[in-house]
Structure 1
Amino acid sequence: MITIDEHRARILASVSRSTATERSVHRSAGFVLADDVVSRWPVPLFDNSAMDGYAVRRADAVEGAILRVVADVPAGCADDPSFGPGEAVRIMTGAPVPADADAIVPLEHTDLGTEVRATPPESITVTVAPKPHAHIRRAGEDAAAGSVAVRAGTVLGPWQLSAIASAGHDRIPVVARPRVAVISTGSELVEPSDTPQRGQIPESNSVLLAAAIVDAGAEVGWTATVRDDEEALVATLADADVDAIVLTGGASVGSFDVVKAVLNGTGSIEFTTVAMQPGKPQGFGLTEAGVPVFCLPGNPVSVAVSFEMFVRPALRTMAGHPTIDRPRSVRRAATGWRSRADRVQVLPVTVDEHTVRPAAPGGSGSHLVTSLAEATALAVVPAEVIEVFEGDPVTVMELR
């Protein structure tokens, strides 16, 4: 057997970041920025008012001063009205500050207060003298023209996309999300809505993987369920046309393990055993066309664990994410459980602020799929530990 780290290292050495593609800022949430985005203009574009109020000459706007209002500048107005000593201009938030002004007196610092008026008043009385440059946003104080607004490698959320739009861009280069095909193999598999006959089970792996792929920052190209038939699997693989393929089942040493029979030795694909529980049988490699192929066990918990340990980091690398691993922390075991001495145990668990406990009361079996619904983390127990005792420190990978 090889270690988890050895199998992971081979995978990560074989995959690379996807090519860049151009997308609208309205459709780029969650993508990774491929190149720096620089500001086309200074931000703000021009000196503008940070408050609804009156543009003034500060020397005139002493407490108690009566100023005649001679003009009105709403937001979006291009006017630059001039005004002289003893005068003021009504101004709205975001409107360009008149060249003659060096401060803004907010509405609430006048005798008229915040009373809503359709037209400007004839005059105002200043009740609080403004400080120098009060409430004026200076052109370029947030970002100069040509400066980097958002750096390459940034995962684009609402705030980053807003900054890009403010910098004057509506289309941006992002890392293309890899399209992934999911193939579940097994003659025992039936649709979840069917009534299983003896020997049959509902097919859930494709559902699990499709959701996990999207959560990892990739896209599902298509899914398929294939019986234990080599010709059927070859035909399904022939039309892949995706950036990666994930197969479940048929990766071990059974007589009907068709995935191994069809793919072993194709391109650089090879099958191995990894010192982990669950998820011991694994396969990985590139097709002759360079497409990464992940061959996972068939039991649902093994699929979930294998995806987290191997597939997710690879897909996030391909999608350009700067962070490819789940955060890890240490909790104290709320109860004891057994582990194998020769393999790293990767166990679905539930955690609270201080403790961790197995998600399934029945143990760590790879078939205990219902426990996945309760799990919020994976406990990673070293191979040399054969039993976890209550109170022991346990490393966990946080899933939520």
Structure 2
Amino acid sequence: MGFDTAALLPLSDALASMLERLDCSCDAESVALPQALGRILADDILSPLSVPPFDNAAMDGYAVRLTDLAAGTPLKVAGKAFAGQPYQGEWPAGHCIRIMTGAPVPLGTEAVVMQEETTAEGDKVLFLSQPVVGQNVRRRGEDIREGASVLGAGTRLSPRELPLLASLGIATLRVRRPLKVAIFSTGDELKPVGAPLAHGDIYDSNRYGVRAMLARMGVDCLDLGIIPDDPAALRAAFLKADSEADALITTGGVSVGEADFTKQLLEELGEIGFWKLAIKPGKPFAFGRLPHTWFFGLPGNPVSAMVTFDQLVQPALARLAGQRWTPPLRIEAIASEPLKKSPGRLDFQRGILSQGPDGLTVRSTGSQDSGVFSSLAKANCYIVLEQARGKVATGETVTVEPFGSLLS
């Protein structure tokens, strides 16, 4: 039987609807630079100094004035300049100065000639090429000028940014406190990993994926465990999350035909934003609000839970955490095999992207059922098939989204 897609919300509309309503929930605090890895900047960073702070040599070689080279005769060496040990003496006409990479260039330097373009003649140096003004000289502020914007508020600090901040002498930073997210799984059939399974039981796997992705995002996780399909237990979990967390993520209990306690509680305690999406996997995804906490209800099927977290919850939590979020990279590839698809929903099939002799190709990881988690574990990308698209033939061009940091 087909789905009534008229009642389903497109992914782009769902994401836009969430992001319009969400704002940063995290106050700012100060941390020392070594503790700032993975934290989100609360303020723009303006450079307190120029980088480099002085004109310096980009090569090992000789600092010269072009007029001294005009005659094409060898020059005597007046002295040496090292990084941290600038040349301090006078610079007589007809002389050059031996200089090392990073050393401040002496006043009057017009170029640095790399040592490979020179040859020694006794106590003099012969220059084998005629430099131009500024050659091999890094000028003050060439990289960053004092007062320039270096990093914007909302930047998550990675190993690429910390050395930059250290080079500016910035010892402490104002960052956002970590977002706090409560999670729990629902379902009487769920059992903890390691417990014996009775007939009809399954292990609770979704929380492991959700916790891992939250850890990648630098989020503090309040794990409330497995909550049975019991209104009182669910209410207690909802209220605990609402009193202690910025957001609540549940898995299961939002599909049509299941006990609708989750939906009833959300309507009673807060409000429902939307409930069903025109995507596959992940149609039963819920967004709403409790009195103090935002709510994200993931499907119970494990692939659906991971895909909806990656595509919807990740940008939403980034907004709540004060992080600037960049949409994922999407590229084109050639399908190396037929792909099954029916029009009606945007489909995130799991694929393996490869570089072939004729360009990028992609193939399916096998069964695309939302309960087959191995399809995601084997993959390195999504094959993103448009809502109106049908089956794909070998050789057709498809859109591919390589896995980002949450799934890689």
Q: Same fold by TM-score, threshold 0.5 exceeded?
A: yes
C-alpha offsets along residues 156-201 of structure 1, whole Å, 9 cap, x if unaligned? 4444444433334233344555332221122322233334232221
- Secondary structure of residue in 2 paired with 1:16: coil
Pick closer, same or farther for the CA change 1:45–1:392 going to 2, 3 Å.
Answer: closer
Q: Tell me which residue corresponds to 2:219.
A: 219
Q: Does 1:251 align with 2:251?
A: no
SS for the counterpart of 2:233 is: helix
Please state how far the C-alpha of 1:377 moved relative to its aligned partner. Answer: 3.0
Structure-2 separation of matches of 1:294 and 1:373: 23
- Asked if the contact 2:119/2:128 (under 8 Å) is kept, the reply is no
The answer to whether structure 1 residue 376 and structure 2 residue 380 are counterparts is: yes
Tell me the equivalent position of 1:192.
Answer: 193
Give the structure-1-normalised TM-score: 0.80
Alpha-carbon offset, residue 303 of structure 1: 0.8
**C-alpha distance in structure 2 between counterparts of 1:56 and 1:349, whole Å:** 59
Instruction: Name the SS for the 1:313 alignment partner.
Output: helix
Conserved? CA contact 1:73–1:92, under 8 Å: yes
List per-residue Cα deviations over 1:266-300 (Å, max 9, x = no partner). 222466333334323232212211x2110122110
Q: Aligned pair 1:286/2:289, yes or no?
A: yes
SS at 1:76 equivalent: coil
CA distance in 2, matches of 1:81, 1:92: 16
Residues 382 and 400, structure 2, Cα contact 8 Å, conserved in 1: yes
- Residue 37 (structure 1) shift: 2.2
**Which residue does 2:101 correspond to in 1?**
93
1:21 CA drift (Å) = 4.4
> In 2, are the aligned partners of 1:251 and 1:271 still within 8 Å (CA)?
no
Change (3 A) 1:218 1:257: farther
Distance 1:295 1:281 in 2: 8
The one-letter code matched in structure 2 to 1:273 is K
Contact 2:185-2:225 at 8 Å conserved across structures: yes
| Residue in 1 that maps onto 2:8 | 2
Deviation, structure 1 residue 373: 0.8
- Residue-by-residue CA offset, 1:104-155 (whole Å, 9 max, x unaligned): 4544455459xxxxxxxx9433343653454333323333322223344555
Matches within 5 A, 1:241-280: 241-254=244-257, 256-269=259-272, 272-280=275-283
Kept in 2: contact 1:226–1:232 (CA 8 A)? no
| Separation of aligned partners in 2, 1:107 and 1:271 | 68
Rounded to whole Å, the distance in 1 between the matches of 2:345 and 2:129 is 74
Retained in 2: the 8 A contact 1:218–1:315? no
Question: Between the two proteins, what is the percent identity of the paired residues?
Answer: 33
Q: Distance in 1 between matches of 2:112 and 2:380?
A: 53
Cα distance in 2 for partners of 1:111, 1:59 equals 19
**Does the residue aligned with 2:268 lie in a helix, a strand or coil?**
coil
| Structure 2 residue ranges without an equivalent (≥5) | 1-6
1:80 maps to a residue whose letter is Q
Q: Which residue is 1:77 aligned to?
A: 85
- Cα distance in 1 between the residues matched to 2:299 and 2:213: 16
Kept in 1, the 8 Å contact 2:279–2:346? The answer is yes
Q: Is the 8 A contact 2:81 2:100 kept in 1?
A: yes
Instruction: Measure the CA separation in 1 of the matches of 2:351 and 2:96.
Output: 67
Amino acid at match of 2:266: L
| Contact in 1 for aligned 2:80/2:87 (Cα 8 Å) | no
Q: Does the CA-based 8 Å contact 2:286-2:297 persist in structure 1?
A: yes
Q: Which amino acid aligns with 1:224?
A: L
Count of residues in correspondence between the two structures: 386
Which residue in the other structure is 2:369 paired with?
Answer: 365
Determine if the alignment matches structure 1 residue 67 to structure 2 residue 56.
no
The amino acid of 1:297's aligned partner reads P
Correspondence list, 1:161-200, <5 A: 161-174=162-175, 176-200=177-201
Aligned partner of residue 125 in structure 1, secondary structure:
strand
Equivalent residue number for residue 304 of structure 2: 302
Work out the CA distance in 1 between the residues paired with 2:77 and 2:388. Answer: 84
* 1:314 shift after superposition: 1.1
1:295 partner SS = strand
Residue 3 of structure 2: aligned partner: none
Secondary structure, aligned partner of 2:370: coil
Q: Which residue of 2 aligns with 1:51?
A: 59
Secondary structure of 1:13 counterpart: helix
For structure 1, the residue ranges without an aligned partner over 5 or more in a row are 114-121
Instruction: String of CA shifts for 1:205-249, please: whole Å, max 9, x gaps.
Output: 01111223344x342423232231333333344443232221001
Partner of 1:118: none
